[in-house]
Amino acid sequence: MGEVDNMTNELMSALIYFLVALIISTIIIFVVTKLFGEKEGIGTAVMAALTGAVIYALVLFFLGGGLIPAILAGVVWTLALGSLYDIGWLKAILTALIVWVAAYFVGIFLPTLGGPL
């Protein structure tokens, strides 16, 4: 039974981490796109955050970690962002860069969620 409880705790921890990360990413994307004058609502920001999570997960699964897969995932996510918000290349790149920088700094200041259970 201990092994099942441990697996359940790990699954719950991963789910909570994913949901908190999704909420934080959504807020960052929503704020950054509003600063650029986009009219789309929070639903588009949720879709952009989910799309980014799926893209990064697929690239990590198929190509593994590292700089080149991260850059590839970033380019694909930038294309998706441009499509979701119907914005040009330059604005999509600038938006993505600001979102990544903001997410990086938020990640530094927030405590980690996946601590020992």
Give the pair of three-digit tokens for residue 91. 């604005």
The residue with tokens 């441009």 is 82
Give the pLDDT mean for 35-64.
Answer: 93
Contact 117, 14 (CB under 8 A): no
Q: How confident is the model at residue 114 (pLDDT cuts 50, 70, 90)?
A: very low
What average pLDDT is seen over the chain?
87
pLDDT for residue 111 is more than 80 = no
In a 13 Å sphere around the CA of 8, the CA atoms on its Cβ side amount to 5
Looking at residue 116, its pLDDT comes to 40
3-class DSSP state of 90: helix
Looking at residue 107, its pLDDT comes to 80
Q: What is the pTM of this model?
A: 0.82
